[in-house]
Amino acid sequence: MGKDNVKLLSMWASPFCMRVKIALAEKDIVYEEILEEDLMNGKSELLLKSNPVHKQVPVLLHDDKPIVDSTNIITYIDEVWPEKPLFSACEYEKSRARFWADYIDRKVYPAGRAIWSSKETAEVEAAKKEFLDIMFYLDGTLGDKDFFNGDTFGFVDILLIGLTSWFPAYEKFGGFKLEDHYPKLAAWITRSWARESVSESLTSPEKITNFVAMMRKMYGIE
């Protein structure tokens, strides 16, 4: 089997799918995207069969073998297609990248979700504080570098930038602007979005913000 039979089970609003699309684009891998129509009301047989434990997108099908969980998928992609590596060759830097990847995975999306899904002002304020506290550490590790790795766009950049089309919704419903708190991090978002691999993989923030507004109505938040 060749290395080029690649499919991605995906959903347009999923930041975890967007991350994988960026990694595939960075590696110039040709793939077919298979979109799930409605994760809330009916998942495809292919998804249920491919990810029976979590039943979530993204799933990468490589020669019909499923690989699940976005960070695991991106690591797999980097190992199977080693050209244009996503990690530094230095073991110490690699370990730092894994640490920040884990931090981003545990923290960013749940904190953002808490902002838009909270009803009471005090809850929104607490969620906003938690989100900005997380950004504090990410801004600190980015420092004055162009990318988290240094000069090259890599693993940590992909994991975090994949989540950022949801950030304007967090800002809107949390009543804050990331750039007022962390201008370097905001500049990193702009710099990263200028890459074709990123802009072509991410759903527009406007579309995500409308989607979030629709969910807030559906959940009776407003």
Ligand X SMILES: N[C@@H](CCC(=O)N[C@@H](CS)C(=O)NCC(=O)O)C(=O)O
Yes or no: say if 168 and 205 are a contact pair by the CB < 8 Å rule.
yes
Among the listed residues 6, 7, 9, 16, the single contact to ligand X using CB under 6 A: 16
- Alpha carbons 125 and 107: distance in angstroms, whole number: 17
* Site string (132-161) toward ligand X, x via CB under 6 A: ------------------------------
Among the listed residues 14, 149, 197, 201, the single contact to ligand X using CB under 6 A: 14
Nearest distance in Å: CB 69, ligand X: 5
Point out the residue whose Cβ comes nearest to ligand X: 56
- Applying the rule CB under 6 A, the residues between 40 and 99 that interact with ligand X are 55-58, 69-71
Yes or no: say if 26 and 86 are a contact pair by the CB < 8 Å rule.
yes
Q: What is the Cα gyration radius of the chain?
A: 17
- Alpha carbons 152 and 86: distance in angstroms, whole number: 9
Reduce the DSSP state of residue 212 to 3 states and report it: helix
Among the listed residues 11, 18, 60, 160, the single contact to ligand X using CB under 6 A: 11
Yes or no: say if 60 and 76 are a contact pair by the CB < 8 Å rule.
yes
Query: Based on CB atoms, which residue is closest to ligand X, 16 or 173?
Result: 16
Which residues contribute to the site for ligand X (CB under 6 A)? 11, 14, 16, 39, 55-58, 69-71
